[in-house]
Structure 1
């Protein structure tokens, strides 16, 4: 695989399913809270919530399943189910630390754009000993843009002080890969649980099985 373009100055990583081996955890949480209500998660539901953020997911869930719960009730329930797991047991995929180390050694700024709750993101980064690599964590709830929008990637680049053209974005969800490409970034699609290769045609500059296979940074 060819190296990344020599102009790359910043790397923006998704977390769940790209760096964190955590998608299965959220499927378990879906199963638990829906089963309490006599419901099951559908494939359509899982696809719809893949990249929209914590509150947006709660609002969508209430509408999709016609629940009597408020979004706040769901968020509180999910928070309790997920808090301990992200702080103690959720691990990164093999090769993540090594790739971040190579990224930092190349002088690349490192940030995350995620629909994960900020508390969970920071706790998991800390527990896996990689929080020091990240200068910024941009969450959909805090920024106000979904990952399906190029605006969240444009915002991240602006805060990092670089042009989107000088950024590379990594994600396992096709709609987020498309958004990063629309923002003008180089894109790396990761073949995770939620990946559909056909949906990434024209949007992914690189398609990899895992971060271990990610393209190297060009020598400066």
Structure 2
């Protein structure tokens, strides 16, 4: 049987139904500089931190008069959209309430800058569920979620063990990274975000669409002895 003593949540696509907002933001950003957004460019920056994204877009595509100007432009768009265009992921609040009611500490680990995340969660009345919010750019070497750095820092902040900490994630590369380091993973797939469901499912301990297949009871009764192998272990 499994036990949970701490939880790490992603924000975009996990707590908030905001992935389409980011795609729309990139579309608006590209067009504001007279450029046509391409799937190749979007795929390139998806796993990057926002500062790294702005650095890349400025250096490679000539966006903005400076990286700082571009970052400020992104912040204005995102701050408005989080407040006016984004809703909660169905079932996310219920999951947070269950964990909080059981006294389980929670932190957010996001690729988005912490000020963005705190504003977004505050707008939706979710911020107080969390003891801390972490951003990949602010942790250790500032690497993205292809690396375990932000999860290691989250474990330190929670003070919980690897074996008893669960991660809630929707990004395929992040689900894989968390599982590789030995964390238990709830993989969340939103049908309209266009992400690879089979990939997320293959790396998840519990897989769900919009929290419909996950609960605190399901986590408590998860059988570690029957834990499926990852694609790398199979």
Q: Same fold (TM over 0.5)?
A: yes
- Aligned residue for 1:152? 150
- Aligned residue for 1:167? 165
* CA offset digits 1:9-57 (Å, max 9, x no partner): 1111111111111112222211112112332222232233223211011
Structure with higher RCO (Cα < 8 A, 6+ apart) = 1
Aligned pair partner of 1:39 in 23, 27, 35: 35
In structure 2, what is the Cα distance between the partners aligned to 1:82 and 1:27? 11
* CA offset digits 1:138-186 (Å, max 9, x no partner): 1112222311111211111012111222111111111101111122100
In structure 2, what is the Cα distance between the partners aligned to 1:48 and 1:214? 31
Q: 1:213 to 1:46 in 2, by over 3 A?
A: farther
Cα RMSD of the aligned pairs, angstroms, is 2.0
- Aligned residue for 1:214? 214
Q: By how many angstroms is 1:202 displaced? A: 4.6
| Secondary structure in 2 matching 1:31 | helix
Q: Which runs of 5+ in 1 are unaligned?
A: none
Q: Which runs of 5+ in 2 are unaligned?
A: 222-234
- How many residues are matched? 215
In structure 2, what is the Cα distance between the partners aligned to 1:190 and 1:58? 27
In structure 1, what is the Cα distance between the partners aligned to 2:56 and 2:4? 36
1:50 and 2:46 aligned: yes
Would the aligned equivalents of 2:49 and 2:144 in 1 still touch at CA under 8 Å?
yes
Q: TM-score, normalised by structure 1?
A: 0.88
1:20 and 2:22 aligned: no
Q: TM-score, normalised by structure 2?
A: 0.83
1:11 and 2:11 aligned: no
In structure 2, what is the Cα distance between the partners aligned to 1:165 and 1:98? 24
Q: Where do 1:121-136 residues align within 5 Å?
A: 121-136=117-132
| Secondary structure in 2 matching 1:62 | helix
| Secondary structure in 1 matching 2:134 | strand
Q: By how many angstroms is 1:62 displaced? A: 2.6
| Secondary structure in 2 matching 1:6 | coil
- Aligned residue for 1:179? 177
